[in-house]
Amino acid sequence: MIDSHAHLNDPAFAEDLAEVIKRAKAEGVETIINVGYDLKSSRRGVDLAEQFPGLWAVVGLHPHDAKDWTEDLRDQIKELTKHPKVLAIGEAGLDYHYDHSPREVQRTVFREQLALARELQMPLVIHSREAAQDTLDILGEFPDVPCLLHCYSGSLEMARAYGKFGHYFSFGGPITFNNAHKLRDVVAGIPLERILLETDCPYLSPHPFRGKRNEPARLGLVAEKLAEIHGCTFDDVVRQTVENTRAFFRLVDKEDS
């Protein structure tokens, strides 16, 4: 399995990172993609990718911190992308739930990171919360940038609109929650060929571990639920999501170290 969106670069794993990675591999999670949310976490992701085989990095600025964007920060993120284990820009996007940065600033910085991804011919990982239409409108300005809607929580109608651009969707622990009936209906309507697995650890631990620190070793619980939703086998889910993840992040063109 591949965990397409993890945050082992988070301080929550400072004390037992090696054990967390060992548990993941014991549960069949051979590849983990650590996603940055600011410059420090992006650098940490690159450092971890250098230290541990099977770990990769995504670098960028979360919409919460869009107010911190500068040309110098852009240049430093661009410099990080030169590392051979950096796969994409992100997580970038819009978050209108918390509004930690002004919305106009979020939109500007989202466009800046999409432009950077276009310049570098890299895919981009999106965080979008309560901002579906603005996210779609901005993506319409960059139809040539492959995108992944991480931890997708929008409607099926909106998913189909994103799908017209050929974008992918990733799902994690929330699809296992007892009250997630609407989300599971959305997941059922998205072709398995466009879905990736994720944990978003240390957040969103799947049932029955909800509320506890999440980690990549629990990815199999997400895969089991996805198989149930799509009426296929666990092995089918693993095979297809690995294929999707390798295609989106262009892992087929890279060699691990």
pLDDT tens digits for 11-40?
Answer: 999 999 999 999 999 999 999 999 999 999
| Model pLDDT, residue 21 | 98
| Model pLDDT, residue 256 | 60
State pTM to two decimals: 0.97
Task: Evaluate whether 61 touches 113 at the Cβ level (below 8 Å).
Answer: yes
In one-letter notation, the amino acid at residue 236 is D
Count CA atoms closer than 13 A to 256's CA, side-chain side: 15
Q: With the CA atoms of 247, 250, 255 and 257 taken in that order, what torsion angle do they form, in degrees rounded to the nearest 10?
A: -100
| Model pLDDT, residue 38 | 98
The Cα–Cα gap between 208 and 213 comes to 12
| Model pLDDT, residue 254 | 77
The Cα–Cα gap between 127 and 64 comes to 10
Task: For residue 76, give both structure tokens.
Answer: 């430093």
The Cα–Cα gap between 180 and 104 comes to 31
| Model pLDDT, residue 255 | 64
Task: Evaluate whether 129 touches 97 at the Cβ level (below 8 Å).
Answer: yes
Sign of CA dihedral 47, 254, 203, 210: negative
Q: Please, what are the domains in the chain?
A: 2-253 (3.20.20.140)
Residues with pLDDT less than 70, the chain = 255-257
| Model pLDDT, residue 252 | 81
